[in-house]
């Protein structure tokens, strides 16, 4: 398939998913909530899971955080090497969410959520949380296309980047798990003791 054919498919898919003139107000509001608040919700869930769960789960969360950082780093390199304009820069569809005119491929939001989801899905004890993040990733992908700030290919690119980041981080994490992860947890628990936070809310030595 030629680049022009891919771009045609990308634009056609965008126009099919983007909110039209008759789009219901409640659906636009829902898309804005998903696009604007999903990442914050994910961060809250990560923190809550870290605080309440065991050492093995915390290791899995550190794996996911490493993959997310790698994924975002790869995404930034791609945007520096290749600039693809956003739909509103090309006069396509309707823009219903404020956004700067910057490179669209791949989506940072989707890259973050998919990169967090995939490592968690790969581990049994965090699979449900990973699936929840994956669903949220797809919801964010839809919302940002619907609101006119991303193309479908931006989201597909985010999934590919997330898969690559997960694979690379798996190789890195096997060296970090024996020494670095336990030290991070010890530092965290030292901070809890120093701040005298209640053990009933912030358990230690899980």
Q: What percent of the chain has pLDDT over 90?
A: 85
Q: For the whole model, what pTM was predicted?
A: 0.93
Q: Where are the domains of the chain?
A: 25-195
What is the per-residue pLDDT across 176-204, written as a single tens digit (0 to 9) for each?
899 899 999 999 999 998 998 888 888 87
What is the per-residue pLDDT across 30-39, written as a single tens digit (0 to 9) for each?
999 999 999 9
Look up residue 35 and give its two tokens.
Answer: 């696009």
Q: In Å, how far are 3, 132, 177 from 158, measured between CA atoms?
A: 18, 17, 26
């Amino acid at each position: 398939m030629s680049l022009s054919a891919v771009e045609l498919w990308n634009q056609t898919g965008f126009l099919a998913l983007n909110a039209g003139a008759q789009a219901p107000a409640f659906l636009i509001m829902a898309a804005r909530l998903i696009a604007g608040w999903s990442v914050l919700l994910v961060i809250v869930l990560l923190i809550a899971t870290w605080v309440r769960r065991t050492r093995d789960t915390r290791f899995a969360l550190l794996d996911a955080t490493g993959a997310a950082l790698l994924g975002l780093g790869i995404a930034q390199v791609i945007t520096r090497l290749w600039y693809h304009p956003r739909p509103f820069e090309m006069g396509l569809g309707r823009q219903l969410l404020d956004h700067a005119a910057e490179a669209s491929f791949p989506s940072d939001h989707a890259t973050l959520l998919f990169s967090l989801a995939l490592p968690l899905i790969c581990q049994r004890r965090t699979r449900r949380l990973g699936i929840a993040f994956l669903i949220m990733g797809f919801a964010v992908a839809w919302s940002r296309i619907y609101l006119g700030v991303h193309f479908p290919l931006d989201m597909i690119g985010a999934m590919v980047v997330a898969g690559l980041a997960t694979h690379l981080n798996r190789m890195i994490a096997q060296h970090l798990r024996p020494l670095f992860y336990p030290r991070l947890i010890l530092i965290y628990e030292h901070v809890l003791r120093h701040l005298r936070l209640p053990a009933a809310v912030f358990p230690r030595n899980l």
